[in-house]
Amino acid sequence: MASETTATSSAAIGLRRGLVLPLLLLVAWEAGSHSGLVNPQFLPPLEKVGQVAWQELANGELPYALAASLKRDLLGFALGAGFGTVVGLLLGLSRIADRIFTTWFNGLKQIALLAWIPLISLWFGFDEAAKVVFIALAAAIPVILNTVEGVRSTSTKLREVGEVFRFSPLQLVWSLYLPAATPSMLTGLHLGLIYAWLATIGAEYFMAAGPGIGGLIISGRERFEMALVMLGIVVVGLVGFVVDRSATWVEHRLVRWRTA
């Protein structure tokens, strides 16, 4: 091991180690399903799940459901992130807005996300609009919190530099507060992306049935097709994983000035 000191080989070792646990679980799953210890109706063997995946891919059901979910997810995220950024900047920059809203907002964020569903359903119905609003709400909360945090933690020493050079309020926001808050804001957007995807599946479970991965899982349960349920869950996990990794990658690109 000592000879393998290059970055590539240590990354490869990391990957191999990271794969150990999932592979063991898959082996246990397969063994459990075939051994008769577990009812295969509750735990279908892997090849059955693979077969259903192929079938759903071929008949277009899976791509259709995935596209519907992603569209909903991204639309909700975009709305929530936009709204959250504006609200977060206002709360962070304006002392008056801060005094009026922050306590109120801190109370609101204590309400569990799922508790909003009845209210949103009453206001926006059970359809697409209500789902998007729910996803937007989920995304907005971490974006607001992290934007406020980023703006507030801007160094007063750097603020004095702006004062010395007679920065206008707009120059202060644009040249100081926004760049200073960027790392924290990106963290908020990253969390917002994760929350939005969780909320997408939640909305599809709890609101009116419609196209989507959540709908696919629900229909699998209703038809007692465990393989379809498993497939849905795997896809949800994979999308979450890809979203998280991409967000991390983008974050690193955008705040490269931070890394030494």
Partner 1 sequence: MSIAVDHADRVAETTDSRGRLEVRGVSKTFTVNGAPIAALNDVSLTVAPGEFVALLGPSGCGKSTLLRLIAGLDRDYTGRIVQDGNAVTGTSLERGIVFQEPRLFPWATVRQNIALGLKNAPISEAGKREAVAAHIALVGLDGFAEAYPHQLSGGMAQRAAIARGLVNRPRLLLLDEPFGALDALTRARLQTELQRIWAHEKITMILVTHDVDEAVFLGDRVVVLAPRPGRISRIFDVAAARPRARSDDALIRLRNEVLRTLEHDGADDGKAGQSNRSGA
Binding status of residue 21 toward partner 1 by CB under 8 A? no
Using CB under 8 A as the binding rule, the residues of this chain from 237 to 256 that contact partner 1 are 255
State the minimum distance, in angstroms, from the CB of residue 256 to partner 1. 8
Cα torsion for 199, 202, 206, 211, to the nearest 10°? 90
Binding status of residue 38 toward partner 1 by CB under 8 A? no
Contacts of 69 (CB under 8 A, 6+ apart): 200, 201, 204, 212, 213, 214, 239
Residue type, 132: V
Which H/E stretch holds residue 200? helix 178-206
Binding status of residue 104 toward partner 1 by CB under 8 A? no
| Binder among 45, 82, 179, 210 for partner 1 (CB under 8 A) | 179
* Dihedral sign, Cα of residue 227, residue 228, residue 231, residue 236: negative
Looking at the Cβ atoms of 59 and 168, the one nearer to partner 1 is: 168
State the minimum distance, in angstroms, from the CB of residue 160 to partner 1. 6
Binding status of residue 173 toward partner 1 by CB under 8 A? no
| Binder among 41, 160, 223, 237 for partner 1 (CB under 8 A) | 160
38 DSSP assignment = S
| Binder among 182, 225, 241, 250 for partner 1 (CB under 8 A) | 182
Binding status of residue 42 toward partner 1 by CB under 8 A? no
* 132 contacts 200 by C-beta, under 8 angstroms: no
Binding status of residue 165 toward partner 1 by CB under 8 A? yes
Binding status of residue 172 toward partner 1 by CB under 8 A? no
Binding status of residue 55 toward partner 1 by CB under 8 A? no
Per this entry, what is the length of the chain? 260
Q: Quick one: which segment of 24-32, 134-142, 177-185, 236-244 binds partner 1 (CB under 8 A)?
A: 177-185
Task: Return the SS3 of 66.
Answer: helix
| Binder among 4, 127, 163, 222 for partner 1 (CB under 8 A) | 163
Binding status of residue 51 toward partner 1 by CB under 8 A? no
Looking at the Cβ atoms of 8 and 259, the one nearer to partner 1 is: 259
Ramachandran quadrant class, 43 (left: phi over 0; alpha: psi -120 to 50; beta: rest): beta
Looking at the Cβ atoms of 183 and 210, the one nearer to partner 1 is: 183
Binding status of residue 260 toward partner 1 by CB under 8 A? yes
Q: In sequence order, what DSSP letters do the residues of 132-190 get, joined into one string?
A: HHHHHHHHHHHHHHHHHHHHHTS-HHHHHHHHHTT--HHHHIIIIIHHHHHHHHHHHHH
The footprint of partner 1 (CB under 8 A) covers 157-158, 160-161, 163-168, 171, 175-176, 179-180, 182, 255, 257-260
